[in-house]
């Protein structure tokens, strides 16, 4: 069965990483929730897509934090804004969550300001209180960057999981775009599944830090030999939809039969599970043949796209709209 993983909660309906988004995703039938983890100055893991938070919180509306606005380079990208590592948890908890894509999702933006920022502990408590088992797919962000800044993300995550009773929980998966932090967690004997995220292009930040221009590319780590090597350390890989569907002619997709995906087939042959991100129904995110009308925010032929992705045999899909992904899985015949 293909797992439906709520990408930052039901983030197509509520501001991402808010309690409302998490609660709604559970109500809509997700199998797991994916939070992104970044640290505060005093070492608390908070749930934000990035450590730069001007687009997902009301931090700019707090005059007392105006002097925290700064410019930093994170994994080669220069950003200006407010960064979680410059705030204590007591300060961050005064902020409220905002919709990251208000032009595309005005209904979600209507819930701006309703919820505070949460810690990892808060989400674990939500999952423990859920009416049925719901998994956690925790993404460790910018591990090398934070390590150099004095935040050992593997140790910090292991400590929170231990204190919360989740360290050996079978519902746990940890993922990262960097192998180093996953290896650190494995060495600590942190439980759960370890999944290596791979961008379509570029190289992992920890590989660049170690090898500079000689760092292996993500693409090179999808060769048969590389996949076999990854399978000796990790449980799975997670790739973007373009990589998953490379070579598939979306104009010819029908509603029956399997869809062949090279990376799914080859990774499965190597003994790896495969996950993909991110299913979104808006025209802006769909292949051109599946867009409907001229409004980028309108929903296109999302069902055809979602069901085609699921028919590759992928082990899990990340989706902003949990309800639509669950419906697509049911249409394919993979409901739990």
User: Of residues 13, 49, 111, 142, which has the active-site annotation?
Assistant: 49
User: Of residues 7, 17, 142, 299, which has the active-site annotation?
Assistant: 7
Hey, what are 281's tokens? Answer: 């129904």
Give φ, ψ of 77 to 5 degrees.
Answer: -110, 125
Give yes or no: 211 in active site: no
To 5 degrees, how large is the angle CA 170–CA 174–CA 179?
135
Tell me which residue of 100, 176, 183 sits closest to 145, measured CA to CA: 176
Do 17 and 49 contact (CB within 8 A), yes or no? yes
Do 252 and 261 contact (CB within 8 A), yes or no? no
CA pair distance 114, 97, nearest whole angstrom: 7
Do 315 and 274 contact (CB within 8 A), yes or no? yes
- 119 φψ region: left (φ > 0), alpha (ψ -120 to 50), beta (else): beta
Do 3 and 31 contact (CB within 8 A), yes or no? yes
Tell me which residue of 236, 222, 321, 317 sits closest to 5, measured CA to CA: 317
Do 334 and 36 contact (CB within 8 A), yes or no? no
Do 314 and 336 contact (CB within 8 A), yes or no? no
Helix (H) or strand (E) segment spanning residue 29: none
Let me know if 94 is exposed, middle or buried by CB neighbors in 10 A (0-12, 13-18, 19+): middle
Give yes or no: 111 in active site: no
**Catalytic residue set:** 7, 49
């Amino acid at each position: 069965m293909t797992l439906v993983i709520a990408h930052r909660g039901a983030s197509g309906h509520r501001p991402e990483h808010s309690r409302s988004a998490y609660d709604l995703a559970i109500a809509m039938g997700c199998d797991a929730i994916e939070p992104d983890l970044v640290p505060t100055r005093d070492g608390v893991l908070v749930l934000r897509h990035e450590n730069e938070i001007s687009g997902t919180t009301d931090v700019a509306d707090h005059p007392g934090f105006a002097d925290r606005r700064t410019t930093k380079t994170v994994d080669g990208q220069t950003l200006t804004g407010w960064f979680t590592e410059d705030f204590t948890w007591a300060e961050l908890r005064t902020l409220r969550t905002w919709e990251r894509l208000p032009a595309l999702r005005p209904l979600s933006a209507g819930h701006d300001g309703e919820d505070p920022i949460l810690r990892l502990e808060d989400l674990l408590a939500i999952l423990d209180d859920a009416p049925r088992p719901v998994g956690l797919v925790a993404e460790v962000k910018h591990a090398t960057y934070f390590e150099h800044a004095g935040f050992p993300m593997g140790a910090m995550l292991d400590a929170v999981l231990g204190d919360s009773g989740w360290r050996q929980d079978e519902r746990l998966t940890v993922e990262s775009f960097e192998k180093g932090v996953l290896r650190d967690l494995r060495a600590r004997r942190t439980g759960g599944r370890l999944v290596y995220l791979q961008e379509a292009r570029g190289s992992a930040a920890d590989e660049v830090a170690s090898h500079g221009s000689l760092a292996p590319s993500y693409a090179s780590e999808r060769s048969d030999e590389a996949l076999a090597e990854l399978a000796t350390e990790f449980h799975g890989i997670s790739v973007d939809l373009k990589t998953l569907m490379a070579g598939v002619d979306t104009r010819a997709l029908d509603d029956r039969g399997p869809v062949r995906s090279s990376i799914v087939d080859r990774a499965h042959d190597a003994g790896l599970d495969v996950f993909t991100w991110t299913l979104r129904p808006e025209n802006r995110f769909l292949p051109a043949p599946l867009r409907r009308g001229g409004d980028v925010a309108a929903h296109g032929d999302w069902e055809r796209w979602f069901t085609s992705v699921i028919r590759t045999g992928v082990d899990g899909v990340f989706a902003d709209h949990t309800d639509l992904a669950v419906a697509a899985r049911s249409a394919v015949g993979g409901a739990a």
